[in-house]
Amino acid sequence: MQKSKIMKLLSIIIPTYNMAALLPRCLDSLVAAEGAEDYLETIVVNDGSKDNSLEVAQQYANKYPNIVRVIDKPNGNYGSTINAALPVAKGKYVKILDSDDFFDTEVLSQYISVLNGIDADMIITHFTQIGATTREVVKYNTMGREPYEYGKVYDLDEVLQEGYIRYFLMHAITYRTELLRKIGYRQTEGISYTDTEWSCYPTFYAQTICFCNLNLYQYNLDREGQTMDPKVLAKSAKQVEKLTDNMIEYYEEHISEVSNTRRAWMEQYFSNRMRLLYKLYLLDMPRADFKEEDLEAIDAKYTPICEKYGWQVCLYPENKILRTEYISYWHKHHKRWPIWFEKFNRMVDVVIKWLYVKIFRR
C-alpha cells in the first residue's frame, strides 16, 4: 500500500453512493468544526453515483480545498471506496463516516483537541443510534459501568482479557493510519456490510487503545433502504454469508500470529459472527424469504469449522427471559419457532430493550 506523507491529524473517509440529498448534512458537520482547516482531511469517495453526489462533493472541495478532497470511481461497493481512499490518506489517524450519517460538530472540535494529545493504535468514542422516534447513546461500558479511564492509553490485550469488550463497531473506531498500512489492510469489494472487516481485522495487530468520553458519530437508522433495515438485510443474506467466509479465512490465516489473550477474544468474536448469521435466518428473515435448504447448506458448511475451533454457537432470545435456544431447536425440528412463540418473544425483547435503554443508555 502506497504511503502518503502525514500532513493532517485526522483523515475522514466518506463513501457515497446516490446520497446527494444527505451528503451536505454530513460534510457541514465536518467543515464547521474548530480547527478543521488545520487538522482535518475529508476524502469523499463517489462510488459511481447515478445522482449528483459527485457535483455536491466537488462543490465542497472547491469551497473548502484545505479540508475536502474527492475521489470519483466506478461502482465497486463499500469496500472499494475504503481501498481507494486509504493509500492517499494524509492523516495520522483515519475514521470512516457514512454519507447518510454525520458527526456532532462541537464534539468533533473537542475530538481534534483530544487527538492532539493521544498516541494509540485505536481510539474509541461513543456514538448515537438515531431511529424514527428514538435516540440511543452507545458506550463501551457494561450495564452502565465505565470500566476504563477516559484518555488513558491501554495495552489492548489488557483490555480484551477483562472481557468487558466483546466486539467493536465501525462507528466508534478511529485507527492509526500507519497500522492499517503496516498490515496491508483491504476490504472485500463488490458486497455490502464490509464495515465489519474494518471493525475486526486491525484488532489482530493493534497494540494500544484509548477510550474517549465523547459522543461523536451520529448513526442514522431511519433512512429507507439503509443496509441494516431488516428487509434489506434479509435480501442480502448471501452477501453476509460471503463476508463471513472471508472473515473465517482471515482468521485461519492470521490467528497463529496473535497472543493467547487475543486468540481467546477472537474465539468469542467469531462465535458471535456465527450466531448473527443463524439469527438472520432463524429470527430476522421474513418467513416468506426463508428457505430451509439455504440454512441446511450453511449449517453443513459452518458446523465443522465451529467444531474445529471449539466455537460455542448458541442463539438465545435477547431478552434473556425465554430460554429456548434457536439453533438447537432447528437441529431437532428442522424448522423455525412457531409463529405465535416468535411474536411473543419479539414483544418481550422490545420491552426488555426499552427498560435497558432507559436505565443504562440515557
* pLDDT confidence of residue 227: 61
β partners of residue 33:
none
Q: Could you tell me if 125 and 212 are in contact, meaning their C-beta atoms sit under 8 angstroms apart?
A: yes
Q: Report the alpha-carbon distance of residue 272 to residue 166 in Å, rounded.
A: 9
The DSSP H or E segment spanning 353 is: helix 339-360
* pLDDT confidence of residue 167: 87
Q: Report the alpha-carbon distance of residue 81 to residue 189 in Å, rounded.
A: 9
Q: What is the CA radius of gyration of the chain?
A: 21
* 331-352: pLDDT as tens digits: 999 888 888 887 887 788 778 7
Q: Report the alpha-carbon distance of residue 96 to residue 119 in Å, rounded.
A: 19
Residues of the chain where predicted confidence (pLDDT) is lower than 50: 1-2
**Residue carrying C-alpha cell 467469531:** 270
- CATH classification code of 8-220: 3.90.550.10
Cell numbers found for residue 351? 420491552
* pLDDT confidence of residue 260: 94
Q: Report the alpha-carbon distance of residue 53 to residue 64 in Å, rounded.
A: 16
* 12-27: pLDDT as tens digits: 999 999 999 999 999 9
Between vectors from CA 120 to CA 154 and to CA 107, what angle results, nearest 5°?
100
* pLDDT confidence of residue 211: 96
Closest CA to 241 of 187, 298, 291: 298
Q: Report the alpha-carbon distance of residue 152 to residue 118 in Å, rounded.
A: 9
CA distances from 182 to 202, 230, 294 (A): 10, 36, 38
Report which DSSP code applies to 17: S
Count of all residues that appear for the chain in the document? 362
CA distances from 85 to 120, 201, 253 (A): 21, 18, 25
* pLDDT confidence of residue 317: 77
Specify the domain boundaries for CATH 3.90.550.10 within the chain. Answer: 8-220
Give the up-direction half-sphere exposure of residue 227: CA atoms within 13 A in the CB hemisphere: 18
Q: Report the alpha-carbon distance of residue 32 to residue 351 in Å, rounded.
A: 39
* pLDDT confidence of residue 2: 47
